[in-house]
A and B are shown apart, each in its own frame.
Chain A
Amino acid sequence: MATPVRTEGPGVGAPARPGGTAAGGWPGPLARLGRATRTAPGRLRLAGALLAVVTVAFGTLTAWQVESRAQAAQRVVSYSQPLSQAAADINRALADADTTAATGFLLAGAEPKAVRDRYEQDLATASRLIAEAAARTTASSPAQGWLAALNQQVPVYAGLVESARANNRLGYPLGGAYLRYASDQMRTVLLPAAAELTAAENRELADDYAAARAVPWAAYGLGVLALAVLGWVQVVLFRRTNRVFNVGLLGATAAVLAAVLWLTVAGLGARGALQESEQKGAAPLRALNAARVDVLTARLAENLHYVARGSSAKYADLWSKTTEHLSGPDTSQDGQGAQAAQGAQDGAPRSGTLADALRLAPAEAEGAVADAGQQYRHWREQHATASRLEHEGDYQGAVDATVTAREADAAKTADAWFNGTDRQLDQAAGAELKQFRRAAEGTDGDLRTAAVAVAVLSLVAAVAAARGLGRRLAEYR
């Protein structure tokens, strides 16, 4: 009934196979299994089958689990992190467009070409990123809804800004009302949609990170089981035959050990790399993006305050709220320059999004973020100066202290310090993105290699075990 072919075919489970006796049904194989355990060759065959099943199962499960982690790691690098960054960039481009439109508006006829170009480029960037993100995002993702809303609202916003510009050029205060309306649309419709989009993409990124870093416990479990079964078979054989070493079984043990080791090293390596990419790249970038949007909103509030020409306290409130969100509560009040300057000497902000960005920044970006903080402090001082001028009734002086088209004075305006802040933060973002890529890229490849290696090694182990047991079986002929 037993044939050499069956012992040499380690992948075929002897107990489960009904063989040629089709009439058997369940009682047949079970009865045969019972008979097989009563003879030494039968027990050997059973052991061989068990080893084959366990090692191959270990290889298959491990390859599958590691491959799914490799896929998640690949999604992190080439899908979810870029999309998360794109969402943040959309958010930033829109906020920047709004801020720049207000700057150009305040300068009116003297609006430099650079300001106009920056506004147009912001809108072009936002539109391009929205289209790209829509193409890359899966149809079922909640992000699609937000992208569609943005896609629809950007042209509406641009139309309102052009109305504002046209009315302003005619000398109508109506232009200011239009600009404030456009900006309200931006802050109540577009930016919240962009923020939701960013949140949705960040959630996907977090999910992919979790999937990529999950420990393949089942694979480890089967690996340990395979080693245990191999050890048990060798102990039993040693007791029966008094032969210490069975080369085939030893080889199988070595192969499984090597596979588990490879799995461990590759898994830990990938986890470490992903951890680093999160800590030095993705997480600091999220904090930095939040700070950058706050910086833009603060600048916008400053502009709109002067666009409203003292007819609204709304924008002064927005400034205070945003700067508090950015760098924590401010002890100095607008217009009290001495206090503001004193507060500025306190050094780096202790709370708020800017403090978060500084705390999370990797060494490579720390300098730029710290510089941004420095520029931001100058900006706040300048803002206090402008507020003081405005409170004294010198509207033009306040506007000139905030933004001017005169090149000689341009370096000392609030706008200049804002630009300095924004530039430094942009530089930091570049450095952090580089850190992310450096750490995360290649992890999926390493994991894939490990998956293939473990699969091959488990096959080797199964074959080796079969060969080793085949030797013993031959002695019964």
Chain B
Amino acid sequence: MRRSKTVRARSVTAVALLASCAAVLGTGGPQGAVLPVAAARTAVAPQAQQQEQDEPCDVYRSVPPSGEDGPAVKAIKAKRSLVIGIDLNSYRWGARNPNTGQLEGFDIDLARAIGTAIMGDPDKVVLKSVPTADRVQFIKDGKVDLIVRTMTITCKRMEDVAFSRPYFNISQRVVVPKSSPAKNLDEALKDRTVCAAAGSSAVEALKGRPVRQLVTPENNLDCLVLMQLGKVEATMTDDVLAASQAAQDQTVRVVDGEIQPGVMGVAMLRTSPDLTARVNQVLADYYASGGWRGAYDRWLKPYLLNDADHYWPAAH
């Protein structure tokens, strides 16, 4: 509740921003898929903007939770395995530990919790790596039943796939070396060489800001490499990945201040609302039982600036 109010309040002050930012926020994976978002703020005609405002998509909206097994859930149970798409490259979210070969992270815990709750047996849950760019296609092709992979809910994606209720709040943050004197986001960016993953929402968020130079490598971790090598002074990326960067390098920190808030959800086929309802039920139970907070404490707490409540999207 509290969270959604903040979002709404911002959207009132910045006209058309929320409508477009949902689209702008279209990335959030470690790679960041390229979206044709540039038009949202600049090139779109006033009339089109008006329409977007009249018909805003609600990224918080999903089917009501239900513990019933509908036809889609029954079909999955009949094939005796639930296939969940995950990431291998987002540290502390979904990553393969190179030394143990184990999958670990916040999203992995959530995926296992959902799988076990639905199938009743962890052995019937299959975790499958999904390339960032193919996430939507994998669902449409039925290669995976669900995707739990730092996936931002956007209006554009909602046209292709169904999302659960959001399970994490994210926004754009700035990472700087600990030696930087910057106290807030503006100071950290002004007249600096700033890095952001190509095609990510961070690049959009940086438009019009007085940075000295913008460097856009392929991946947000490339920004951390460049920062360690002294080639960039600040990196803009979302909470999720900022936390992941701070976790991998103790000499960088996330500065105060955030822009462009959004939410992450579990994606699945639009044609199986009963599965979505079931996932929503599991999410509600997961939070109520303390599973969400446990995973948060285990994977993310040391690296995020705010307390856990800040990141849980309140019921809508």
Contact = CB atoms under 8 A, between A and B. Distances in A.
A177 B130 contact: no
Task: Output the residue of A314, A393, A394 with the most chain B CB within 10 A.
Answer: A393
A265 interface: no
A376 interface: no
A393 B31 contact: no
A395 B129 contact: yes
Given A174-B249, A180-B222, A395-B88, A311 B144 contact: no
A251 B132 CA distance: 90
Contacts of B221: 173-174, 176-177
Interface string A302-335: 0000001111111000000000000000000000
Given A178-B225, A311-B132, A393-B85, A168 B91 contact: no
A108 B222 CA distance: 20
Contacts of B225: 174, 177-178, 181
Contacts of B89: 173, 176, 308-311
Contact of A310 (B83, B101, B131, B248): B131
B98 A175 contact: yes
A315 B125 CA distance: 30
Interface string A219-251: 000000000000000000000000000000000
Given A172-B248, A310-B129, A310-B132, A108 B90 contact: no
Nearest to A177: B221
A181 B97 contact: no
Interface string B225-261: 1101000000000000000110011000000000000
B219 A171 contact: no
Nearest to B99: A109
Given A181-B225, A309-B129, A393-B85, A314 B218 contact: yes
Contact of A311 (B31, B99, B226, B228): B31
Contacts of B219: 177, 180, 308, 311-312
B85 A313 contact: no
A163 B224 CA distance: 12
Interface string B50-64: 000000000000000
Given A176-B221, A312-B31, A168 B131 contact: no
Nearest to B247: A172
B132 A172 contact: no
Contact of A173 (B85, B95, B126, B130): B95
Interface string A239-281: 0000000000000000000000000000000000000000000
Nearest to A306: B88
A174 B248 contact: yes
Contacts of B97: 171
SS class, residues of chain A in contact with chain B: helix
Interface in B72-114: 83, 85, 88-91, 95-99, 101
A203 interface: no
Among B85, B225, B228, B245, residue most surrounded by chain A Cβ atoms (within 10 Å): B225
A169 interface: yes
Interface string B20-38: 0000000000110000000
A78 interface: no
A449 B89 CA distance: 70
Given A177-B222, A313-B133, A108 B99 contact: yes
A170 B91 CA distance: 11
Contacts of B126: 393
Contacts of A163: 228
A85 B144 CA distance: 52
Contacts of A313: 131, 133
A395 B96 CA distance: 10
A395 B244 CA distance: 22
Given A177-B221, A393-B144, 14 more contacts: A167-B248, A174-B91, A174-B225, A181-B225, A181-B226, A309-B96, A311-B30, A312-B31, A312-B218, A392-B128, A392-B143, A393-B130, A395-B96, A396-B96
6 contacts: A108-B98, A173-B221, A174-B91, A310-B89, A313-B133, A393-B83
Interface of B: 30-31, 83, 85, 88-91, 95-99, 101, 126, 128-133, 143-144, 218-219, 221-222, 224-226, 228, 244-245, 248-249
